[in-house]
């Protein structure tokens, strides 16, 4: 499991350099990153096919296709909003959740 996560992170980091070049041309309000959850899901789907394949050219083509699919799923990195902190309500709507402990 750890090896697959490391491989996904390597793919993401190598593709984020290309992503910065592409997003500089477009005017986005925030910096854009590759969505790690989608990238992990895409890698999980193609991981077995990559391990079974023996032809190096097909493996390279599959990695390139995987990288292109990852580049299509980008999300903005929004800074923390400096507004009011969230209010925490200590009252619970349902009384059965407020039973006293022994």
Which of 23 and 98 is assigned the larger pLDDT? 23
Which of 60 and 78 is assigned the larger pLDDT? 60
Greatest Cα pair distance in the chain: 66
Confidence of residue 97 (pLDDT cuts 50, 70, 90): low
The pLDDT assigned to 22 comes to 76
DSSP bridge pairs for 74: 34
The pLDDT assigned to 51 comes to 87
Residue identified by tokens 């959850």 is 37
Where are the extended beta strands (E) located within the chain? Answer: 31-34, 74-77
User: What whole-number distance in Å separates Cα of residue 3 and Cα of residue 74?
Assistant: 23
Distances (CA, A) of 93 to 10, 89, 90, 96, 101: 46, 10, 10, 9, 18
SS3 of residue 7 by DSSP:
helix
Interval 25-54 mean pLDDT = 86
pLDDT digits 0-9 by tens, 52-71: 999 999 999 998 898 889 88
Residue identified by tokens 């980008």 is 74
């Amino acid at each position: 499991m750890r090896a697959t996560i490391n491989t996904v992170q390597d793919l993401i980091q190598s593709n984020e350099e290309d992503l910065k070049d592409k997003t500089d041309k477009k005017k986005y309000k925030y910096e854009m990153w590759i969505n790690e959850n989608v990238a992990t899901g895409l890698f999980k789907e193609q991981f077995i096919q990559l391990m079974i394949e023996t032809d190096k050219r097909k493996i390279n083509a599959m990695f390139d296709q995987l990288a292109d699919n990852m580049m299509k799923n980008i999300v903005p990195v929004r800074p923390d909003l400096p507004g009011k902190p969230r209010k925490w309500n200590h009252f619970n709507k349902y009384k059965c959740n407020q039973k006293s402990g022994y």
